[in-house]
Structure 1
Amino acid sequence: MKYKDIIEKMTLEEKASLMSGKDFWQTQDIERLGIPNIFLADGPHGIRKQAEAADHLGLNESIPATCFPTAATVANSWDENLGEKIGSYLGEEAVSQKVNVLLGPGINMKRDPLCGRNFEYFSEDPYHAGKMAASYIKGIQSKGISACVKHFAANNQEERRMSIDTIIDERTLREIYLTGFEIAIEEGKTQTVMSSYNMLNGAYTNENLHLMRDILRKEWNYDGVVVTDWGGSNDRVAGLKAGNELEMPTTNGETNQEIIHAIKAGKIPEELLDENVDRLLDLIFTTEKVYQQPTPRIDIDQHHKLAQQVAEESIVLLKNEESILPIAPEKKVAIIGDFAKNPRYQGAGSSIVNPTQLDNTIDSLKDANLTSIGFEEGFNRYGKKDNNKLNKACQLAQQADVVLLYIGLDEVTEAEGLDRQDMKIPQNQIDLLHAIHQVNTNIVVILSCGSAVEMPWIDKTKGIVHGYLSGQAGARAMLNILTGKVNPSGKLAETYPIRYEDTPAYHYFPGKEVSVEYRESMYIGYRYYDTANVNVRFPFGYGLSYTTFDYGDIDVTKDGVTFAITNTGKVAGMEIAQLYVSAESEAIFRPEKELKGFTKVALEPGETKTVTIPFDDKTFRYYNIKTDQWEVEEANYTITIASSSADIRLTDSIFVKGTNASSPYNKENLPTYYAGDVRNVGKEEFETLLGHSVPVPTWDRSKPLGYNDTIAQCRYAKGAFARFSFQAIRFSYWFLRKIGKRSTANLIIMSVYHMPFRGIARMTGGIINMAMLDGILMIVNGHFFKGLKHFLKERKKMLKTAKEKKMHLAEVGKER
């Protein structure tokens, strides 16, 4: 242990006190031993350190910070160097605000387009996500503080996220849902990992010994800190056994006592607590070193400029019919759409950043080389039809050579805590597009949203430019793309299906009650569409440019693949070349091809560059469930260099010597997985893949409700008061949506409806403890007066204990 001398001086109570927060964002300090507290803050794409009352939902405004494009946006840059630069700027701002741990990046896979938090995540591909996350981590930690990669692991839906049980086979878990974390941890060297809320194959992730001990600690040799997601601790002692050092936020000492009692009762050895304390002390002392130096001053304008550069490299040109873009200066342009004036530039929830400045299209026009003839709002942002706005927009559009139509999803549609209901753009925006098309067919759609949407209206446009959620400088960046000042170079890091029904998890998402079954296995995103030959709107890795690129001279060796790229157009540009690998064998079921490398190359007109994408330890491996380790199948492998997953430019092959492990599967028992069309996998075949039975996916309504049941389950409660409360919550949600208060309505779903009962104690900072919660559950389960009496008794006991503790501390202070 690094800090054995300090730990030997600590009392059992002091050690336990470090295992949960001091308050909502800070760890506990021990003044007599010189152990300071450290500050953790949200920040996947900007620092969210709240100046006033703390919360985890983004309700209260935070100290101003640069709002960079979200991870879903930056993923489209495919630029690791740019990711590292963003990370370094995030690290600088974190240090300036005295933040020790920045809670990001988020790295969960985009299993399904409707996951409400997809805007915070990079990709549907683990290799891509892992590489981008590692670059962020390197940048953040270069400034002396810690990044915190999250949410570990298999957290791919927001509905019932605090209690849902993810049922997934081991190979898919390893290859798809853990590989990104593996790369982020091994290459990024993150000092902190955040466990997810959900269960994984029957155990909460922060208590899951297989996940936390076998894989994270032993296989990956991770020696950093694991912190719970806020309110994400179920059994504190079980979490400690798994190596979960820090529970957040505070429980006002309640769970510390659970640890102390477990040690005194001989349930766990004190040495286990010492190990956890040692790792946490290392995080505290290493991240505090930076504050021994003068606090740096942030160049706000310089950071804003980087935010603009990042947005420019991440914007994706999806359609450019008749070369309508870039727009010539003499063309008369009509600007239509609410998002042009009030940009949709970030997500909602715990990642909300209070920007240092915010560009919008209308105010930025004076610096753009565009001839604007006016602006019209065109539609109501939150979906209400308004014919007056539509008519005014059409009148303006009639006078223009080109219409720039700014549409997308609003802030309450994509938000932490709830999943989207569909993949559609609001109907009032589509109606506006159709109406404008009747008077002017030269329409360029500028899209603002954080995840994939359906585009049945695509034939009504000549151009589509996707800005995703491009941060505080996104509006100016978009104008630079539209006018050709900057050549678009972004490519999609997720597939855009033609319709939601085409997606592989369509029948399995989301899990509604007890569990969610990942029956599609490893076939997510392009892995499914390419294998099952399903047509898509835009493939993974797709993006247009104002120039063209040729590929040639492929050379494959045991170390990697080398090839040449030439800019064959008339303007400078950047091309993202992608390496895909396919096994020429049918012994083990696999996707048609898998991304195993990429590079972004800048080229002047006529310039040729020779580039190499190296192979690594992940290029040919697969996880063998019989040997319980990574193996290489001996076979010929097709090496593909592509401009997108559907745009193959060069191919070659190489023979790879294998590890001689026997096949883990009987092909006859898994016909759907070998065929790759996994939209209708039967229960029996999925259980064969799992190697065990699936749990019953529905609630047992005959049992009394307990700690891990949710408020939503009060509809089945035996207590009339609980059923009445449930109906009141449902009515409040309906009424708030009806009167247009959608953000407030969403909060009810996020912070109440799907909250497990234990969350009432874990998220209230000790205001309600578990003993009081027992009284609440008695009321819920039909024992109103008994429960109320118990609740009041335990509350009185808690207040008395708190008063005695305060008096004791005051006496100790006087003695000092």
Structure 2
Amino acid sequence: MPNNILIKTLAGLCTFAAVACGGGQQPRSDVAVYLDESQPIEKRVEDALSRMTLEEKVAILHAQSKFSSAGVPRLGIPEVWCTDGPHGIRPEVLWDEWEQAGWTNDSCTAFPALTCLAATWNPEMSALYGKSIGEEARYREKDILLGPGVNIYRTPLNGRNFEYMGEDPFLSARMVVPYVQGVQKNGVAACVKHYALNNQEEHRHGIDVEVDDRALYEIYLPAFKAAVREGGAWAIMGSYNKYKGQHCCHNQYLLNDILKRDWAFDGVVVSDWGGVHDTKQAAENGLDMEFGSWTDGLSWGASNAYDNYYLAAPYLDMLRKGEASTATLDDKARRVLRLIFRTAMNTQKPFGSLNSPEHLAAARRIAGEGMVLLKNDGGVLPIDLGKTKTIAVVGENAVKMMTVGGGSSSLKVRHEYTPLEGIRAAVGDRAEVIYERGYVGDVTGNYNGVKTGQDLSEKRSEAQLIADAVAAARKADAVIFVGGLNKSDHQDCEGADRLQYGLPYAQDRVIEALAEANPNLAVVMVSGNAVAMPWIDRVPAVLEAWFSGSEAGNALADVVFGAVNPSGKLPFTFPVRLEDNSAHALGEYPGTDKVAYNEGIFVGYRWHDKEQLKPLFAFGHGLSYTTFDIAGVKADRTTLAANGRIRVSADVTNTGTRPGAEVVQLYIGDEESSLPRPVKELKGFQKVSLNPGETQTVTFEITPDMLQYYDDAKGAWIAEPGAFTAYVGAASDDIRGTAAFELK
């Protein structure tokens, strides 16, 4: 039996002994209400709190191991167990070390990275994702899943963008809510991270973010707010960086004022591992549970230091001296007890499952739906196996496992289907598949004790690798290059940002050589970030495949050979040049002690629209193997009352020859604002599946609250009367119709 399950079982048995004898310390004759699940949680919380000593209240606020915190053994209240996410359940580590525990039953299903999930533009996929990963966490007896992440994509150099949901607050908000709800239906708390303004990895432990209130409320907070107010998140993780001079894991403005007061958050604030720096601030500024102090979250730290955590003995000493508020202590303890009753002591939660066929199918489905067909001139994709006898697959990313590495989201899987495996399995004996390496990137294959077992050593020179790839391409009927980024340092990886916007490992040279050798070339990008594409005019087809998890290769083959018609849309803008990104055009990056977000609200497509910059690929862009017409955009009225609504509709028709899905996007622009506003902002989207020739009417409802902006001078949300335009289209740069209306 796994240690944590055994401990929880024993803790449950101790409950009866504790109640029967009054706990040995505080004899009581009354009924233990906190054990009665028929009672309201708040009543149970108050009863348990009334039975706890000062020491017990403090003990449940800090870690007792790398990933657990103490319960109250005397009362039979079990400890809390956390696990890293957000793409799968992290393998077990030793109690007090980062090294692997050596379990043989902790392989998980790796789900696609959250960029891929966001690219589905489908809340149903988010619900499936949350349900599935929640079931895996539940099976492993975890109480808190450390995810999902919803930090905004500010710069394409951020090494951790792959863990987040893109550049737009509305899209992120709509996609995070079903994930949270799906996880928590399993009796596992979703811990939404990293709150807030964690938009770079460089200097992440101390950088002080300077951002105006308008950008804070309009861009960087909405997804967190939706997770709390709509998703009912039971936990929030503070970020490493500072805001207003205070670390975000104990930040008065973010945690006490906004999260707990304004949003009425009733869950726990969990520190990021090593994110706590001061006992007084941790006590007063909103932190509830402290983990990983004296560690960078990855590698180093003091051993068995838990009693010396900031919210441990130092906090207890302050309380005993009267230097800290016992009312604040009780609030923290209430929140932790509420979490425990929702998770560890919830006997009604389902049993969960691990690596089930259903989970692998979910991972494959989400990956296929999230892949984005960026370009497809001449119909190079899908590859017709009835007419193709030889396929050349080129690129290290066609064979390199991507579930290992990248930071705390690194996983241990039973098997990861690589692109080459998926392609060969789909092709079978219908065609010959030739593989060439093309380039050498990262030959290592281990992270935190998990080893891929792959031998990626290579003796050929760069010139020879390219020559061999070109020779294979010339013999083939179709060529698939699989490249992009990987999970190594300074790529898509926690702890450091990318060093360049362009592709690493001289991949541009490989792609250009392949394009010259064979016109039937499809470039597949495996990444969680935008990349420069200086060869884009010479390559007919480009597919963004993301980091797609356990079923990556099978999902890619589904799309490449047409079993799945791609319907993904970009959740962030691909700029032509790094300088076309607003953080690099106007703002500071990476800063040293401070970083100023001078671009304010003009992030991503908002900046491109304002400056009339043509992107490489726009926010919301994504092609299909069929074609769609979006026409007949109209509003049911031209004026919107303060308490009314307008319905904007459009007719969507599949004008091609294959069944497919289109994401119809609604943007709204304010024509008469007294403060600068974006040309347009995403305010709605619907994914519509249609057969060839089929038409469906899509309708969006517009209410006055959707027209608001945050007036930082007034500290309030404002909807100014005046003229507005509703834009309906297939991408932020592909508007098919507009409807004008006026807010009265």
The answer to whether residue 466 in structure 2 is matched with residue 382 in structure 1 is no
What residue number does 1:281 align with? 337
What residue number does 1:621 align with? 708
What residue number does 1:393 align with? 469
Aligned residues: CA RMSD: 2.1
Picking from 730, 733, 736, the partner of 1:649 is: 736
Q: State whether residues 684 and 700 of structure 2, in contact with CA within 8 Å, keep that contact through their aligned partners in structure 1.
A: yes
Q: Distance in 2 between matches of 1:362 and 1:626?
A: 56
Picking from 609, 612, 632, the partner of 1:553 is: 632
What residue number does 2:495 align with? 417
What residue number does 1:583 align with? 670
* Count of residue correspondences: 657
Which one-letter code corresponds to 1:107 in the other structure? V
What residue number does 1:45 align with? 87
Q: State whether residues 651 and 696 of structure 2, in contact with CA within 8 Å, keep that contact through their aligned partners in structure 1.
A: yes
Residue 144 of structure 1: how far off its partner (Å) = 1.5
Residue 377 of structure 1: how far off its partner (Å) = 1.4
The answer to whether residue 49 in structure 2 is matched with residue 7 in structure 1 is yes
Picking from 174, 181, 189, the partner of 2:217 is: 174
Q: Distance in 1 between matches of 2:733 and 2:346?
A: 47
Alpha-carbon distance change, 101 to 354 in structure 1, aligned in 2, over 3 angstroms: same
Q: State whether residues 168 and 201 of structure 1, in contact with CA within 8 Å, keep that contact through their aligned partners in structure 2.
A: no
Alpha-carbon distance change, 290 to 430 in structure 1, aligned in 2, over 3 angstroms: same
Q: Distance in 2 between matches of 1:434 and 1:479?
A: 23
What residue number does 2:147 align with? 104
What residue number does 2:656 align with? 569
Worse-matched range after superposition: 541-550 or 211-220: 211-220
Worse-matched range after superposition: 309-318 or 258-267: 258-267
Secondary structure of residue in 2 paired with 1:106? coil
Q: State whether residues 78 and 490 of structure 1, in contact with CA within 8 Å, keep that contact through their aligned partners in structure 2.
A: yes
Q: Distance in 2 between matches of 1:512 and 1:629?
A: 30
Q: State whether residues 495 and 538 of structure 1, in contact with CA within 8 Å, keep that contact through their aligned partners in structure 2.
A: yes
Secondary structure of residue in 2 paired with 1:537? coil
The answer to whether residue 520 in structure 2 is matched with residue 442 in structure 1 is yes
- Within 5 Å, give how 1:743-782 maps onto structure 2: none
Q: Distance in 1 between matches of 2:97 and 2:201?
A: 18
Picking from 299, 304, 326, the partner of 1:270 is: 326
Q: State whether residues 711 and 718 of structure 2, in contact with CA within 8 Å, keep that contact through their aligned partners in structure 1.
A: yes
**1:367-399 Cα shifts (integer Å, max 9, x gaps):** 424623411112112399522222221111111
- Within 5 Å, give how 1:707-722 maps onto structure 2: none
Residue 192 of structure 1: how far off its partner (Å) = 0.3
Which one-letter code corresponds to 1:43 in the other structure? G
- Within 5 Å, give how 1:184-583 maps onto structure 2: 184-249=227-292, 251-254=305-308, 255=310, 256-290=312-346, 295-298=351-354, 300-329=356-385, 330-331=387-388, 332-344=390-402, 348-369=406-427, 371-382=431-442, 386-412=462-488, 413-506=491-584, 508-557=587-636, 558-583=645-670
Q: State whether residues 20 and 249 of structure 1, in contact with CA within 8 Å, keep that contact through their aligned partners in structure 2.
A: no
The answer to whether residue 77 in structure 2 is matched with residue 35 in structure 1 is yes
Please, which runs of 5 or more residues in structure 1 have no aligned partner? 658-816
Q: State whether residues 422 and 556 of structure 2, in contact with CA within 8 Å, keep that contact through their aligned partners in structure 1.
A: no
Which one-letter code corresponds to 1:206 in the other structure? C
Q: State whether residues 346 and 469 of structure 1, in contact with CA within 8 Å, keep that contact through their aligned partners in structure 2.
A: no
Alpha-carbon distance change, 17 to 617 in structure 1, aligned in 2, over 3 angstroms: farther
Worse-matched range after superposition: 7-16 or 271-280: 7-16
Q: State whether residues 58 and 351 of structure 1, in contact with CA within 8 Å, keep that contact through their aligned partners in structure 2.
A: no
Q: Distance in 1 between matches of 2:630 and 2:541?
A: 26
Residue 235 of structure 1: how far off its partner (Å) = 1.6
The answer to whether residue 64 in structure 2 is matched with residue 22 in structure 1 is yes
Residue 18 of structure 1: how far off its partner (Å) = 1.4
Alpha-carbon distance change, 51 to 616 in structure 1, aligned in 2, over 3 angstroms: farther
Residue 473 of structure 1: how far off its partner (Å) = 0.6
Which one-letter code corresponds to 2:398 in the other structure? A
Q: Distance in 2 between matches of 1:57 and 1:521?
A: 42
Secondary structure of residue in 1 paired with 2:221? helix
What residue number does 1:803 align with? none
Identify the structure with the greater helix proportion: 1
Q: State whether residues 433 and 460 of structure 1, in contact with CA within 8 Å, keep that contact through their aligned partners in structure 2.
A: no
**1:664-723 Cα shifts (integer Å, max 9, x gaps):** xxxxxxxxxxxxxxxxxxxxxxxxxxxxxxxxxxxxxxxxxxxxxxxxxxxxxxxxxxxx
What residue number does 1:759 align with? none
Q: Distance in 2 between matches of 1:206 and 1:614?
A: 38
Q: Distance in 1 between matches of 2:102 and 2:89?
A: 14
Q: Distance in 1 between matches of 2:702 and 2:87?
A: 30
Q: Distance in 1 between matches of 2:558 and 2:352?
A: 31
Q: State whether residues 347 and 450 of structure 1, in contact with CA within 8 Å, keep that contact through their aligned partners in structure 2.
A: no
What residue number does 2:450 align with? none
Which one-letter code corresponds to 1:176 in the other structure? I
**1:187-223 Cα shifts (integer Å, max 9, x gaps):** 1110000011111022222322221122111211111
Residue 562 of structure 1: how far off its partner (Å) = 2.4
Q: Distance in 2 between matches of 1:631 and 1:586?
A: 10
Q: State whether residues 69 and 80 of structure 2, in contact with CA within 8 Å, keep that contact through their aligned partners in structure 1.
A: yes
**1:475-528 Cα shifts (integer Å, max 9, x gaps):** 111111111111110010000011112211115343332101111111110000
Q: Distance in 2 between matches of 1:71 and 1:46?
A: 11
- Percent identity of equivalent pairs: 36
Q: State whether residues 53 and 60 of structure 1, in contact with CA within 8 Å, keep that contact through their aligned partners in structure 2.
A: no
Which one-letter code corresponds to 1:654 in the other structure? F
Secondary structure of residue in 2 paired with 1:496? coil
Residue 239 of structure 1: how far off its partner (Å) = 2.2
Alpha-carbon distance change, 437 to 610 in structure 1, aligned in 2, over 3 angstroms: closer
Q: Distance in 2 between matches of 1:66 and 1:491?
A: 24
Please, which runs of 5 or more residues in structure 2 have no aligned partner? 1-41, 294-304, 444-457, 637-644
Q: Distance in 1 between matches of 2:729 and 2:175?
A: 19
Q: Distance in 2 between matches of 1:551 and 1:358?
A: 39
Secondary structure of residue in 2 paired with 1:494? coil
Residue 179 of structure 1: how far off its partner (Å) = 1.0
Alpha-carbon distance change, 362 to 59 in structure 1, aligned in 2, over 3 angstroms: farther
Residue 236 of structure 1: how far off its partner (Å) = 2.6
Alpha-carbon distance change, 420 to 652 in structure 1, aligned in 2, over 3 angstroms: same
Which one-letter code corresponds to 2:606 in the other structure? R
Worse-matched range after superposition: 202-211 or 114-123: 202-211
- Within 5 Å, give how 1:73-112 maps onto structure 2: 73-112=116-155
Secondary structure of residue in 1 paired with 2:230? helix
Q: Distance in 1 between matches of 2:570 and 2:648?
A: 23
Which one-letter code corresponds to 1:14 in the other structure? E
Secondary structure of residue in 2 paired with 1:529? helix
Residue 366 of structure 1: how far off its partner (Å) = 4.4
Question: Please, what TM-score do these two structures have when normalized by structure 2?
Answer: 0.85
Alpha-carbon distance change, 147 to 402 in structure 1, aligned in 2, over 3 angstroms: same
Which one-letter code corresponds to 1:432 in the other structure? V
